[in-house]
Amino acid sequence: MILNNKELKILAEFTNSYNSKHYGRAIASKLKMNQKTVSNILNSLEKQHIIKFKHEGKNKYYFLNKLNPATKEVIKLAEINKRIILFEKHKKLNQLLLEIEDRAKGIAIIFGSYANFTNNEKSDLDVFIMGSISELSDLESMYHIKINVVKSTKDKFNSNELFLQEIMNNHILLKGVEEFISLTW
């Protein structure tokens, strides 16, 4: 199965929460895509058993088919594609992001304004680390950007916690894609 950019964009909507349900029209509106195109892609993904649907009234809601092992692999691709988009949109920060990735031990997640692409020149870079990370102050002065690091451990990870739900809804995985998906699946 080869996925195109439109399919990856649509699948990225399912990365906000692997348990979420999505209405096709809402996806089309949010992504500013033709509703028929979105419908065709969702139907194709359903035929490939990547997603399932459920009728609620007149509406058809789509959700991930977690019983299909291929679904997890496809979601990994969608998560990696989000990372690629981050690197493409913030070319000046590529080296900084790679440095953060190298210094992190465990899972590294970008969240906040950089994750939803609403950042400006005064925005801080918000990083969630599930594990440990070495000092970043040298990177802050080198790249002239404030880096806010929030640390946690897998033992303390509780996806029901409000802050972690916010990260789940708006994140870009910098490091530990497979580990994060397994932890939150």
Residue range 3-57, pLDDT digits in tens: 999 999 999 999 988 999 999 999 999 999 999 999 999 999 999 999 999 999 9
**pLDDT of 90 above 90:** yes
* pLDDT value for 161: 80
CATH 1.10.10.10 positions along the chain are 1-89
**pLDDT of 159 above 80:** no
* pLDDT value for 168: 87
CATH architecture of 1-89: Orthogonal Bundle (1.10)
Mean pLDDT confidence for 169-184: 94
Three-state DSSP at 92 gives helix
Whether the Cβ atoms of residue 149 and residue 129 lie closer than 8 Å to each other:
yes
Measured on CA atoms in the order 56, 51, 85, 164, is the torsion positive or negative? positive
CATH 3.30.460 positions along the chain are 90-184
Residue 79 confidence class, pLDDT cut points 50, 70, 90:
very high
Average pLDDT of the residues of the chain: 94
Q: How far is CA 184 from the centre of its chain?
A: 12
Q: Of 79, 27, 41, nearest to 184 (Cα)?
A: 79
63-72 long-range contacts, Cβ below 8 Å, gap at least 24?
A: 63/14, 63/19, 63/20, 63/21, 63/22, 64/14, 64/18, 64/19, 66/18, 66/185, 70/1, 72/181, 72/185
**pLDDT of 94 above 80:** yes
Placement of tokens 């210094």 in the chain: 103
* pLDDT value for 166: 86
Convert the pLDDT of each residue in 60-73 to its tens digit: 999 999 999 999 99
**DSSP alpha helices (H): ranges in 48-135?**
69-89, 94-103
Q: How many CB atoms lie within 10 A of CB 59?
A: 13
Mean pLDDT confidence for 92-113: 97
Cα separation, 172 vs 5, whole angstroms: 17
State how far the alpha carbon of 69 is from the alpha carbons of 32, 182, 185, in Å: 30, 12, 12
Whether the Cβ atoms of residue 68 and residue 185 lie closer than 8 Å to each other:
no
Query: Domain 90-184, what fold?
Result: Beta Polymerase; domain 2 (3.30.460)
Cα separation, 91 vs 95, whole angstroms: 8
- Cβ burial, residue 99 (10 Å; 0-12/13-18/19+): middle
* pLDDT value for 155: 80
Residue 2 confidence class, pLDDT cut points 50, 70, 90:
confident
